[in-house]
């Protein structure tokens, strides 16, 4: 009896003796195949030959599974990453032959496109030079007996984790704008690019990093209100480093106020002449708005507010006695301006 598969003799079953009307054969297939199995009886001197009807038969490869391990899923640029594929066959038996191709985004990874499997493992090392996110897959090509398989994709995000070292800043409203300084520190190489500095949602400016990753931004004299202001410094990243944000502060002192007063007349007659105090409060970068108090010989006699130009006028009551009179004018601290005062003297005459 001759057994064939798809018209081709089955190894070891091409000529099987018939005993008691039956012929049997055990076969091992070296590769996948499919077709009809047919038994053909050659006949004898007294018996005519015959052929069986075909019986559909498929020889399938042994199924495999491939898994992928990655030594670092968030490496910095230039960092060596180990890719390790584990290939198992039926009953978790380790594959002993074949190759694994490691790809990133469907493209073979240089030097890792065909790695031999040994004792169920295939490994390769690589490093990426540019910041990006890669989908890495290990694909086992299979053998004549074992089917190929692919691992689940592993996401690898390449990009150095830069850090910001901001320094607290100071300034005086209207006089000196705060100078925001600091440094962006990269991993393995200097960070390049720029930082953006904000106060809340307001962009105060941008600064370009120098060769050492340092940045300097001098704000306008009135860019920030007096007080301690919270700022954010955002590094936009470069080819090798990802973006990062950190916090800092700028402490802005109030503008220094100045009070000027002109007294007219300076030598009034008692009981008949009144002195007019013409007051001007000034400060760098702003027009002071607030309360002005006028003291005569230590007693507050008038409380007025400065106008839109920082001015106020006070008409003093006539003096009842002769002699020197001390006139002190004070400006109370406002949101932007520090307190200030000035003292003048008039002499009342008879």
Global confidence as pTM:
0.61
State pLDDT tens for residues 33-82: 889 999 999 888 888 989 999 999 888 888 999 999 999 998 888 889 99
131 — pLDDT class (breaks 50, 70, 90): confident
CB-count exposure of residue 291 (10 Å: 0-12, 13-18, 19+): middle
The 10 Å Cβ neighbour count of residue 118 is 12
Indicate if the pLDDT at residue 256 is higher than 90.
Answer: yes
156 — pLDDT class (breaks 50, 70, 90): very high
- Taking the C-alpha atoms of residue 171 and residue 223, their distance in angstroms, rounded to an integer, is 10
The 10 Å Cβ neighbour count of residue 324 is 9
Domain 65-158: CATH class, spelled out: mainly beta
Which percentage of the chain shows pLDDT scores above 70? 100
Give every CB contact of residue 38 below 8 A, 6+ residues apart in sequence.
Answer: 3, 4, 7, 51, 52, 53, 54, 55
Residue 91: what pLDDT? Answer: 87
How many C-alpha atoms does 308 have within 13 Å on its Cβ side? Answer: 0
Task: List, in sequence order, every residue forming a beta bridge with 304; answer none if it has no partner.
Answer: 292
pLDDT mean over 156-166: 88
- Taking the C-alpha atoms of residue 125 and residue 144, their distance in angstroms, rounded to an integer, is 28
State pLDDT tens for residues 288-346: 999 999 999 999 999 999 999 999 999 999 999 999 999 999 999 999 999 999 999 99
- Taking the C-alpha atoms of residue 154 and residue 137, their distance in angstroms, rounded to an integer, is 7
State pLDDT tens for residues 136-149: 999 999 998 899 99
Residue 207: what pLDDT? Answer: 98
pLDDT mean over 172-181: 95
Selected residue with higher pLDDT from 121 and 32 = 121
- Taking the C-alpha atoms of residue 246 and residue 212, their distance in angstroms, rounded to an integer, is 18
Q: Which residue has the tokens 């018209």?
A: 7
Indicate if the pLDDT at residue 166 is higher than 80.
Answer: yes
Indicate if the pLDDT at residue 153 is higher than 80.
Answer: yes
Beta strands in 132-290 (DSSP E): 132-140, 149-150, 154-158, 163-167, 169-172, 179-185, 194-199, 202-208, 214-218, 227-235, 244-253, 258-264, 276-282
Residue 240: what pLDDT? Answer: 81
Domain ranges of the chain: 2-59, 65-158, 163-253, 258-348
Specify the CATH number for 258-348; select among 3.40.718.10, 3.40.47.10, 2.60.40.10, 3.40.50.2300: 2.60.40.10
Residue 274: what pLDDT? Answer: 97
| 91: helix, strand or coil | helix
Domain 163-253: CATH class, spelled out: mainly beta
H/E run at residue 58:
strand 55-59
Q: Are 348 and 340 in contact (CB under 8 A)?
A: no
* CA torsion angle 263 266 271 276 (round to 10): -10
Residue 203: what pLDDT? Answer: 97
State pLDDT tens for residues 211-247: 999 999 999 999 999 999 999 999 998 888 888 999 9
31 — pLDDT class (breaks 50, 70, 90): confident
How many C-alpha atoms does 144 have within 13 Å on its Cβ side? Answer: 5
Task: List, in sequence order, every residue forming a beta bridge with 66; answer none if it has no partner.
Answer: 87
Residue 242: what pLDDT? Answer: 83
Which percentage of the chain shows pLDDT scores above 90? 83
């Amino acid at each position: 009896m001759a057994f064939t598969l798809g018209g081709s003799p089955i190894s070891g079953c091409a000529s099987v003796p018939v005993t008691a009307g039956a012929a049997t054969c055990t076969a091992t297939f070296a590769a996948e195949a499919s077709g009809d199995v047919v038994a053909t009886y050659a006949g004898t001197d007294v018996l005519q030959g015959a052929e069986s009807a075909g019986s559909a038969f498929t020889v399938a490869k042994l199924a495999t599974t491939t898994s992928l391990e990655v030594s670092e899923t968030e490496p910095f640029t230039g960092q060596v990453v180990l890719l390790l594929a584990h290939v198992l066959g039926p009953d978790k038996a380790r594959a002993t032959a074949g190759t694994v191709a490691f790809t990133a985004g469907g493209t073979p990874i240089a030097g890792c496109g065909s790695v031999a499997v040994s004792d169920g493992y295939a490994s390769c090392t690589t490093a990426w030079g540019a910041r990006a996110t890669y989908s890495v897959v290990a694909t086992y090509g299979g053998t004549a007996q074992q089917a190929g398989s692919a691992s689940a994709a592993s996401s690898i995000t390449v990009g150095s984790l830069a850090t910001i070292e901001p320094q607290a800043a100071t300034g005086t409203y209207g006089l000196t704008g705060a100078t925001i300084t600091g440094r962006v520190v990269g991993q393995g190489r200097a960070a390049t690019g720029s930082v953006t500095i904000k106060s809340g949602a307001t962009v105060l400016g941008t600064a370009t990093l120098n060769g050492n990753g340092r940045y300097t931004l001098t704000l306008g004299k009135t860019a920030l209100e007096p007080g301690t202001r919270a700022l954010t410094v955002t590094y936009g990243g470069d080819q090798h480093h990802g973006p990062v944000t950190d916090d800092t502060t700028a402490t802005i002192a109030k503008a220094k106020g100045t009070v000027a007063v002109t007294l007219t007349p300076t030598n009034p007659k008692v009981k008949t002449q009144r002195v007019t105090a013409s007051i001007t409060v000034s400060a760098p970068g702003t027009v002071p708005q607030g309360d002005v108090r006028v003291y005569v010989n230590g007693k507050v006699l008038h409380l007025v507010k400065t106008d839109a130009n920082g001015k106020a006028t006070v008409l003093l009551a006539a003096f009842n006695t002769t002699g020197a009179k001390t006139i002190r004018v004070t400006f109370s601290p406002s949101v932007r301006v520090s307190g200030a005062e000035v003292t003048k003297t008039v002499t009342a005459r008879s």
